[in-house]
């Protein structure tokens, strides 16, 4: 069985590590490109949200490389993600692709099916091997999160444009090759050290921008037009609270072990959004509130076009912006997105934010003009 | 002086209208209902609602804007779930918050949280909060709730019985799929059901079946390997569609979906796939938004009903049938 899975940012590194430690022949789908998007859009309904289209494209591209089993997550609503698998199964059949879709549903929607899926993925691995594979995957999850956060915080201070991203690429390649948790930790330290070497002190105060929204769009640089990189190059220190570790903690660990308290975003969002609305709607609002209170200067809110939870968040965010005094810009993403449009909006937003930062910090520390990317 | 509570005639009012009005009456409040959707109401809604929301939500905002000046409070329940293991729609789950954030000058909202997915105990606890909001004691609220539930179920029974007898005569029968809040609002749906009737065909809506029936039909499919849907009204649409595809009770299906509706974008795809697989029924999918032009819909509908009628004649004469189901997206 040659197994594959959808892309989501750097998710492929830990997932690949996990599946290969269990003895699977893993096929990583080719990186998401325009071709992926157009293939995906051809096989999915036009009213569906972007993650469905992109993951569909990933599956077909991986099947072209010879994958015959696809690992996908399920769900129990109300977000459309939970029903992706049904549409994808039909779309794969219609596209003449024989790959089998293995859907990992949450255990509470059916223990028997969950056990079946676990048995398929487990193959002949012993419990010890599974634990070892999970430990390695968990270490790699932590590692890619740590690198992402370090890069987001450092990019605005880099001495040579692109040097931080070069360090990142090297670091991620090393982490991909690591076979033990210690090696992973070593590579992370080394890469963080390299990143520190790329930065220089800047004379002006940092413009700190938060990125919130639907998790797939926030974490997949190929579909969000590399928004973190773009903001970093403009000169913003980027804060991105949605990470793999955060997702696993709040959706998997807390789901199984109910006694572990969930990160309480709902209490932050309560004045504006009082109820869970599926997806990451509450997270978008809650994190924006928390960011305003912790002194960030602006928030960029990303959502796939027609995403139901994010439409609720988008409706509420202007209210958050006024009440908490933080500028918020909502951007909807679909397969037709042009990066120039994105650039213009981000530049304008960043210029407004840096003008505000200058006013707050007194005009003496303000540079003559704001940095503009070319 | 009794409390004047505004009830927007939109969204789930079309499902639970009698229950809502009866409950408010039993609690001693004076319910004010907004008029049937018209152009002014839609315009008012478009001004305050986010662009990306679907048409029925925009219309809801219009009704809220209409009522805002005339009432002391607005009745905007937060519908999360009305059955175990299924939700309504994320937008309806956040509706009171959206109204609070977007509609200027909106009066106090009475927003009980309707969430049956967590069992009756939790549900009862959230209903208790409704008492102070309407200015009645818990015991009076409980009595009012019991009485209005009873009255509403009686109305629902007569409604279902009435519609089923109406669909027994011959001619072309068109199955109409769509959310009740779209089909029952002639302004949103451009009077789709009436148009079908005027073209000489008999419309059968998914809403004319009881919830139990549609769930049973959907469950029959699940046994054949499909995943259970987790949107209550989506299940109703899908159940009815499966039924029609399996039995051929109708001669064609019209699906009226609002642009940007999450559940419908998926359901529509599944129905299209199933109709294509079984090669059974012609299917017309209509997407509506605030730019709807009536002539466009009339033309499509006329052409579709003509096709269906011709196909039916061919079947009757044992002639070869057209191969592909008609899909005029």
Boundaries of every domain in chain B: 4-158, 167-316
Residues A227 and A368 placed together within one structural domain of the fold: yes
Of A97, A125, A153, the domain-final residue: A125
Composition of chain A by helix, strand, coil, percent to 5: 60, 10, 30
* Measured torsion, CA atoms of residues A85, A89, A90, A93, in degrees rounded to the nearest 10: 160
Show pLDDT as tens, one digit a residue, over chain A (374 residues): 899 999 999 999 999 999 999 989 999 999 999 999 999 999 999 889 999 999 999 999 999 999 999 999 988 878 999 999 999 999 999 899 889 999 988 887 788 888 888 888 888 888 899 999 999 999 999 999 999 999 999 999 988 888 999 999 999 999 999 999 999 999 999 999 999 998 888 888 889 999 999 999 999 998 988 899 999 999 999 999 888 888 887 777 766 666 666 667 888 999 999 888 988 899 999 999 999 999 999 999 999 999 999 999 999 999 999 999 999 999 998 887 678 888 999 999 999 999 988 887 655 445 444 444 43
Radius of gyration of the CA atoms of chain A, in A: 21
Does residue A133 fall inside a structural domain? no
Residues A54 and A112 placed together within one structural domain of the fold: yes
Residue of B47, B96, B101, B110 for testing the chain A interface, max A β-carbons within 10 Å: B101
Does residue A134 fall inside a structural domain? no
Burial B162-183 (b: 16+ CB within 10 A, else e): eeeeeeeeeebbbbbbbbbbbb
Please tell me which residue of chain B has the smallest CA distance to A321. Answer: B101
- Rounded to 5 degrees, φ, ψ at A211 are -120, 120
CA distance B102 to chain A (A): 7
CA distance A77 to chain B (A): 6
Question: Cβ of B93 and A273 within 8 Å?
Answer: no
Residues A96 and A19 placed together within one structural domain of the fold: yes
Tokens representing residue B214 in the block: 């549609």
How many CA atoms within 13 Å lie on the side-chain side of B54? Answer: 29
B255 and chain A in contact, CB less than 8 A: no
If one counts every other C-beta atom within 10 angstroms of the C-beta of residue B149, the result is 13
Does residue A132 fall inside a structural domain? no
- Rounded to 5 degrees, φ, ψ at A224 are -95, 20
pLDDT at position A260 is 64
CA distance B52 to chain A (A): 6
Looking at CATH, the fold of the domain delimited by B167-316 is given as Rossmann fold (3.40.50)
Question: Cβ of A76 and B230 within 8 Å?
Answer: yes
Does residue A270 fall inside a structural domain? yes
Residues A168 and A218 placed together within one structural domain of the fold: no
Chain B residues inside the 8 Å CB shell of A113: none
Residues A198 and A265 placed together within one structural domain of the fold: no
Of A204, A228, A251, the domain-final residue: A204
Residue A253 is part of which domain span? 205-374
| pTM for the model | 0.91
Residues A328 and A187 placed together within one structural domain of the fold: no
Q: Which neighbouring-strand residues pair with A158?
A: A199
Residues, chain A: 374
CATH number of B4-158: 3.40.50
Residues A197 and A278 placed together within one structural domain of the fold: no
Please tell me which residue of chain A has the smallest CA distance to B103. Answer: A315
Does residue A213 fall inside a structural domain? yes
Residues A295 and A235 placed together within one structural domain of the fold: yes
ipTM tops 0.95: no
Residues A214 and A354 placed together within one structural domain of the fold: yes
Does residue A200 fall inside a structural domain? yes
Q: Contact, A48 vs A221, CB < 8 A? A: no
Q: What's the DSSP call for residue A44?
A: S
Show pLDDT as tens, one digit a residue, over chain B (329 residues): 688 999 999 999 998 988 899 999 888 889 999 999 999 999 999 999 998 899 999 999 999 999 998 899 999 999 999 888 889 999 999 999 999 998 878 899 998 888 888 778 878 888 888 888 888 888 888 888 888 888 888 887 777 655 554 444 458 899 999 999 999 999 999 999 999 999 989 999 988 888 888 888 888 888 777 788 899 999 999 999 999 988 888 999 999 999 989 999 999 999 988 888 777 789 999 999 888 788 989 999 999 999 898 888 877 665 444 544 555 54
Per CATH, B4-158 and B167-316 having the same topology is answered yes
Please give the Cα distance from A95 to B113 (Å, whole number).
43
Does residue A130 fall inside a structural domain? no
Residues A226 and A200 placed together within one structural domain of the fold: no
Residues A338 and A368 placed together within one structural domain of the fold: yes
CATH value at residue A235: 3.40.50.11900
Residues A108 and A33 placed together within one structural domain of the fold: yes
Tokens representing residue B175 in the block: 């199955």
Question: Cβ of B268 and A315 within 8 Å?
Answer: no
Question: Cβ of B50 and A311 within 8 Å?
Answer: yes
Q: Which neighbouring-strand residues pair with B87?
A: B231
Q: How many structural domains are present in chain A?
A: 3
CA distance A75 to chain B (A): 9
Which of B101, B230, B259 is nearest residue A315 as measured by Cβ atoms?
A: B101
Tokens representing residue A186 in the block: 């070593």
Of A125, A155, A190, the domain-final residue: A125
């Amino acid at each position: 069985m040659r197994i594959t899975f959808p892309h989501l940012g750097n998710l492929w590194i830990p997932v690949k590590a996990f599946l290969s430690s269990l003895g699977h022949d893993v096929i990583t789908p080719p990186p998401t490109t325009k071709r992926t998007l157009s293939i995906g859009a051809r096989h999915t309904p036009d009213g569906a949200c972007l993650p469905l289209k992109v993951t569909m494209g990933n599956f077909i591209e991986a099947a072209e490389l010879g994958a015959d089993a696809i690992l996908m997550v399920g769900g129990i609503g109300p977000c459309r993600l939970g029903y992706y698998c049904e549409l994808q199964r039909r779309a794969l059949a219609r596209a003449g692709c024989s790959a089998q879709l293995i859907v990992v549903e949450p255990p509470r929607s059916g223990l028997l099916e969950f056990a079946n899926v676990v048995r398929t993925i487990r193959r002949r691995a012993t419990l010890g091997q599974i634990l070892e594979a999970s430990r390695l995957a968990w270490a790699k999850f932590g590692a890619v999160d740590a690198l992402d956060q370090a890069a987001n915080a450092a990019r605005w201070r880099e001495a040579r444009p692109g040097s931080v991203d070069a360090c990142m690429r090297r670091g991620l390649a090393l982490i991909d090759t690591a076979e033990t948790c210690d090696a992973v930790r070593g590579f992370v330290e080394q890469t963080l050290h390299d990143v520190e070497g790329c930065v220089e002190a800047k004379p002006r105060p940092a413009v700190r921008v938060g990125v919130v929204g639907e998790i797939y769009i926030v974490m997949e640089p190929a579909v969000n037009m590399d928004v973190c990189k773009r903001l970093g190059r403009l000169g913003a220190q980027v804060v991105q609270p949605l990470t793999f570790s955060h997702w696993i903690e709040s959706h998997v660990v807390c789901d199984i072990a109910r006694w572990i308290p969930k990160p309480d975003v709902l209490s932050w969002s309560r004045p504006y959004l009082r109820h869970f609305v599926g997806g990451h709607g509450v997270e978008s609002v809650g994190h924006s509130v928390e960011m305003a209170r912790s002194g960030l200067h602006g928030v960029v809110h990303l959502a796939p076009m027609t995403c139901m939870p994010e439409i609720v968040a988008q409706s509420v965010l202007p209210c958050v912006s006024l009440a908490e005094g933080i500028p918020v810009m909502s951007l909807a993403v679909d397969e037709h997105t042009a990066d120039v449009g994105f650039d213009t909006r981000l530049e304008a937003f960043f210029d407004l934010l840096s003008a505000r930062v200058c006013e707050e910090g007194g005009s003496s520390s303000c540079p003559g003009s704001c940095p503009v990317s070319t | 002086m009794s409390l004047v509570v505004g009830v927007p005639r939109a969204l789930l009012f079309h499902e639970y209208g009698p229950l809502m009005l009866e409950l408010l009456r039993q609690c001693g409040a004076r319910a004010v209902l907004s008029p049937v959707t018209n152009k002014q109401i839609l315009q008012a809604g478009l001004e305050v609602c986010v662009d990306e929301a679907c048409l029925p939500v925009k219309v809801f905002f219009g009704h809220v804007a209409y009522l805002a000046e005339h009432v002391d409070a607005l009745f905007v329940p937060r519908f999360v779930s009305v059955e175990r293991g299924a939700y309504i729609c994320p937008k309806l789950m956040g509706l009171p918050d959206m109204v609070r954030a977007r509609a200027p000058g909106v009066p106090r909202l009475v927003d009980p949280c309707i969430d049956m997915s967590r069992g009756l105990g939790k549900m009862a606890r959230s209903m208790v909060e409704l008492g102070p909001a309407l200015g009645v004691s818990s015991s009076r609220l409980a009595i009012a709730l019991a009485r209005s539930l009873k009255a509403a179920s009686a109305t629902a029974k007569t409604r279902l019985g009435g519609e089923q007898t109406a669909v027994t005569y011959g001619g072309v029968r068109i199955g109409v799929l769509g959310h009740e809040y779209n089909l029952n609002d002639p302004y949103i749906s451009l009077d789709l059901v009436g148009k079908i009737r005027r073209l000489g065909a008999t419309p059968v809506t998914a809403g004319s079946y009881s919830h139990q029936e549609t769930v049973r039909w959907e469950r029959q499919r699940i046994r054949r390997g499909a995943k259970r849907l987790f949107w209550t009204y989506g299940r109703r649409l899908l159940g009815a569609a499966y039924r029609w595809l399996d039995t051929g009770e109708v001669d064609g299906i019209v699906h009226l979906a609002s642009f940007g509706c999450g559940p419908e974008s998926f359901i529509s795809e599944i129905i299209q796939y199933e109709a294509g697989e079984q090669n059974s029924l012609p299917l017309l999918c209509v997407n509506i938004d605030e730019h709807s032009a009536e002539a466009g819909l009339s033309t499509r509908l006329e052409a579709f009903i003509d096709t269906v009628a011709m196909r039916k004649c061919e079947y009757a004469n044992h002639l070869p049938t057209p191969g592909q189901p008609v899909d005029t997206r």
